[in-house]
Structure 1
Amino acid sequence: MTSGVGPVEPGEDTHARDTPRPRPRSPLARRYDRHRRTVLASVAAFVVLAGAGYLYASRPEPRPAPPPPYPSQAVGLAYVSPVAGSPGAPAGGFSFAVLLSVRSGPPVTLTRLTQPYDGLSLTSSPAAPFQTKSHSSRKIIVTLRVTECEKAPRNPGLPFLDVTLRNARAIQAHSFILGTRYAQDLSQALEVACSNDSG
């Protein structure tokens, strides 16, 4: 009889059951167990590597860097002022300064600088081609000379300069209107040059 406290003890007709001892495993069975553990470890490692490879392969591609701007989008050309007595300016020539600014992107090369009127010729200092780095400006002295007064504009409304620009992205021809001050100064210079020519 038990008091309800402590372990249950066997009664008269009961016997404690002996736990069977494990049978010794044969060398072949032990080898099989080792091989099985090795294979399972290899499979687990393969699954981990395959999962990592899948995650790497399915990751979102980084966005490519945006292309550099077209040269005409990165460059500004502004009229500064007439230049009196610039060195090398021909008699009867009109010299003025413009400022070429590269606002962003890679360096820009100005490969050509011209004007649209048949009766005028143009030279510049520095002479094209020349390069200007990003976030910098370059002063250019432009000299116009009247070659034929009959073909020169008498009252140019919105005169412009044609430039060809090149950077790492493209080559572009672009026209820059230089504004009313340039139009007035050019008109006055042409009037003086052609009145001297006719007189």
Structure 2
Amino acid sequence: MSGTGPVEPGEGTRAREAEDGTLTALPARPPGRAARLYARRRRAVLAAAAAAALLAGAGLLYATRPEGPEPPPTPPPPSPSQVVDIRYVGLRAGQPTARSHSFAFEVLLSVASGPPVTTTRLSQPYAGITLASAPRTPFRTAPGSARKIVITMRVTECGKVPKDAGLPFLDVTLRNARAMEDHSYILGPRYARDLSHVLQVACSNDFG
């Protein structure tokens, strides 16, 4: 005789005694209304969760997908000395005599492109001469425009100015959105001749 006992009916089944005395399991009872409702709700919840996960994955894929090549970075604006030009226009009326040591001339400052340029300083290299400008510094010049500047010089000490100005220049400090620069502008041979002439007139008594 083995140690295995009679087969017990499983959950949801009931045993039936056959005519020969053996027991057989009856089919499981169909689930009730509450069980069917629970199963239906569970399937709906699982379907909703699966749909939400699918949509979330699609949204993440869309968010991380690049829309196209990024535009190239905007180049920096040019340095002010690259876009500013200063040209000599000529002497103004009322030039110096041996008694009057002041003289004036005009230059044209133009800005080709880029942001506006501010002229913060105008000077010249000779220790015996002072300089003033109209308009006074600082002044601003818009791109694509030119500004006429009247520069007045006064000889304060003839012993510190040259008898013959070979390559005279203006020292200019310029500033725009990119940088501030000190730059020297040679105004050409006509300016050199005119400057040498007015210096000789202003200092004629000293040059002899």
Identity percentage of aligned residues: 53
Match of 2:40 among 19, 24, 30: 30
Contact 1:94 1:186 in 2 (8 A): no
Q: Which of structure 1's runs of 4+ aligned residues deviate more than 6 A?
A: none
Alignment partners' CA distance in 1, 2:81 and 2:135 = 20
TM-score by length of structure 1 reads 0.77
Contact 1:70 1:167 in 2 (8 A): yes
Alignment partners' CA distance in 1, 2:100 and 2:74 = 51
Match of 2:154 among 134, 145, 148: 145
Name stretches of at least 5 consecutive residues in structure 1 with no aligned partner.
1-23
Name the residue aligned to 1:94.
103
Alignment partners' CA distance in 2, 1:195 and 1:108 = 39
Residue 72 of structure 2 corresponds to residue 52 of structure 1: no
> What one-letter code is carried by the residue in structure 1 that aligns with 2:128?
G
Match of 2:136 among 120, 127, 130: 127
Residue 182 of structure 2 corresponds to residue 173 of structure 1: yes
User: For the aligned residues, what is the CA RMSD?
Assistant: 2.5
Alignment partners' CA distance in 2, 1:174 and 1:198 = 31
* Superimposed CA distance per residue, residues 128-181 of structure 1 (whole angstroms, 9 cap, x where no aligned partner): 111112211110011122222221112222110001111222221111111111
Q: Which is greater in Rg?
A: 2
Match of 1:184 among 185, 190, 193: 193
Name stretches of at least 5 consecutive residues in structure 2 with no aligned partner.
1-32
